[in-house]
A = this chain, B = another copy of it.
Amino acid sequence: MPASPLLAVLSGERRDPPPVWLMRQAGRYLPEYRALRAEKGGFLDLCYDPAAAAEVTLQPLRRFGFDGAILFSDILVVPHAMGQRLWFEAGEGPRLAPPLLDGLLDGLPADPALLRPVYETVRRVRAALPPTVAMLGFAGSPWTVATYMVAGQGSKDQAPARRLAYRDPQAFGRLVDAIVAVTADYLVGQVDAGVQAVQLFDSWAGSLAPDQFRAWVVEPNARLAALVRARRPGVPVIGFPKGAGAKLPDYVAAMAPDAVGLDETVDPAWADAALPPGLPVQGNLDPLALHAGGPALARAVAAIRAAFARRPHVFNLGHGILPDTPVSHVDALLAMVRA
């Protein structure tokens, strides 16, 4: 039996109260994070600085005693390692250059060694954690990573990648295949450095028509999960296809994740009825309900707890915590969940 309640749930045991962690729990809502950012500089510098990234990863653990620590990094380190230049424009978000509007990677200076500082961060965090706290790794799902690689930045409705996928599915497929291969290596590297479960973030799964969803979300995620399982058996894979809506059961059936993350728009009662019995779920509090606090928060927490009363459940948000969330609301949430 795993010493960590979070790992126990991911392996199919039910725990009551549920283990809890929050997406983006290491981040801007914490004054200690803002202080470290002010001292150390840019977001990406932090991601590639193992001492700083380990410190940031551990900050919310010290304050709240979450059941999991999630690596502080970014999904776009994978395109960076694949040879695109990567930087963050203040107030605007990520930039990747050159944009791959035709999907072709030819001539880009791929350099997997860029990912080594991330593995060092994992080693430092794992060494600092007690065995009761699980260390989670992550990567972007191939579709979501591809949307940034094609557009060179965030894009409205992910139109550039969706257009390329319709116009030239062969070229787009080769790009996705390359992302799958690099991401599998990256996740294996994280596991070898000490992560005990991995989450695949598909932040933009919600923008695709059903045939495109099958081709670019379900199939590559299934392939990626299978590669990681074949090379490092027994490490739970959490799939998080944000915005999948009614297509969630198809995703689960094809990919067979060890647990599935639910975004805040999913009705937990529907999910409990629609998903295979016993499948661990993770989620799915509305980050705005946490931001609001008070009765709205209490009602939302109670509804989620009630819906998943007979299923392995990891309590989490349905999306990242908002930067202006009061820290006291997180304390209140933990008291409610653990009551």
Q: Which residues of A come within 8 Å of B, CB atoms? A: 159, 162-163, 166-167, 169, 206-213, 243-248, 250, 264-270, 274, 286, 288-289, 291-292, 296, 299-300, 303, 318
A296 and B245 contacting across the interface, CB-CB below 8 Å:
no
- Is there contact, CB below 8 Å, between A289 and B246? no
Given contact pairs A246-B266, A246-B274, A166 touches B288 in the complex (Cβ within 8 A): yes
- Bound-state CA distance A254–B38 (Å) is 51
Question: Complex: how many Å from CA A300 to CA B268?
Answer: 31
**Chain B residues in 8 Å Cβ range of A166:** 288-289, 291-292, 296
- Among residues of B, the one whose C-beta sits closest to the C-beta of A206 is B265
Cross-chain contact A246 with B270 (CB below 8 angstroms) = yes
Using A163-B288, A166-B296, A210-B268 as known contacts, list a sample of 13 further A-B pairs with CB atoms less than 8 Å apart, ordered by residue number in A. Answer: A163-B292, A166-B288, A166-B291, A166-B292, A208-B265, A209-B264, A211-B299, A213-B265, A243-B265, A245-B245, A246-B246, A247-B267, A247-B270
Query: Could you pull out 25 A-B pairs where Cβ atoms are within 8 angstroms?
Result: A159-B288, A162-B288, A163-B288, A163-B291, A163-B292, A166-B288, A166-B291, A167-B296, A209-B286, A209-B300, A209-B318, A211-B299, A211-B300, A212-B286, A245-B245, A245-B246, A245-B265, A245-B266, A246-B246, A246-B248, A246-B266, A246-B267, A246-B270, A246-B274, A250-B267
Q: Please give the distance in Å from A64's CB to the nearest CB on chain B.
A: 22
Closest residue on chain B to residue A169 by CB atoms: B296
C-alpha gap A270/B250 in the complex (Å): 10
A299 — which chain B residues lie within 8 A by C-beta? 211
A160 to chain B, nearest CB (A): 10
Measured CB to CB, the closest approach of chain B to A248, in angstroms, equals 7
User: Smallest CB–CB gap between A326 and chain B, Å?
Assistant: 13
**Residues on B with beta carbons closer than 8 Å to the beta carbon of A292:** 163, 166-167
Residues of the B chain whose Cβ atoms lie less than 8 Å from the Cβ of A208: 265
